[in-house]
Amino acid sequence: MLTAKQHELLQFIHDRLGETGVSPSFDEMREALDLKSKSGVHRLISALEERKFIRRLPNRARALEVLRMPEAAKPAGARPAAAPELRPAPALRTPANDTIEIPLHGRIAAGTPIEALQGQEQFAVPAALLGPGEHYALEVAGDSMVEEGILDGDFALIRKVDIARDGEIVVALIDGAEATLKTFRREGQMVRLDPANRSYEAQRYDPRRVQIQGRLAGLIRRY
């Protein structure tokens, strides 16, 4: 049977993983349980490990996995009607300090459209940068999106979608052959693709010439 603090900590870790996919830090656990030091958190974690409620993921900082949750669990001292049954914890998202490999489809213009979506290399991305859905990466070529903080040589993380709303930064495929990274807007009966650099002009197309290939979900810069 779990003590009140053990149960409280287990529930806190379970809820945080379910919400964000990220294990709470020891400081966050200490504050949540109103403990005076992190040594108390370590003792509670060790006790939950011994009882097979959680496990620490090897070689990963701040990575805990909830193995099971007590069914209708009550803290020690309460008088349960019957011994609680144990049920598996729900499937949790990948811990944020894990990496996920997504396809790297070559270079995409942040200036004049160029051929894109070529190549099938894999690109390792921290799982915390990706939300739900299918993603791929593109290396940015050009400087027309610098005022949005998107620089030549950056890697754009793209969530696959085929529709866009005004103001979203998208990968737009022009005439089925060339792609560009721009801000999507509708202008009357036309589609306008806006750069984020005053040296460049907006591009206007008949909507039938433009196919949305994805929406910007994140950015990685290597130094």
Q: Which of 46, 52, 182, 199 is catalytic?
A: 182
For strands 178-187 and 190-194, give the pairing.
Answer: antiparallel
Q: Which of 5, 23, 144, 160 is catalytic?
A: 144
Strands (E), the chain: 54-56, 64-66, 68-70, 86-88, 99-109, 114-115, 121-126, 135-141, 155-159, 169-174, 178-187, 190-194, 203-205, 210-220
CB 100 within 8 A of CB 130: yes
- The pair of structure tokens assigned to 166 is 């005004």
CB 137 within 8 A of CB 159: no
Q: Is 23 a catalytic residue?
A: no
Q: Is 39 a catalytic residue?
A: no
Residues with catalytic function: 144, 182
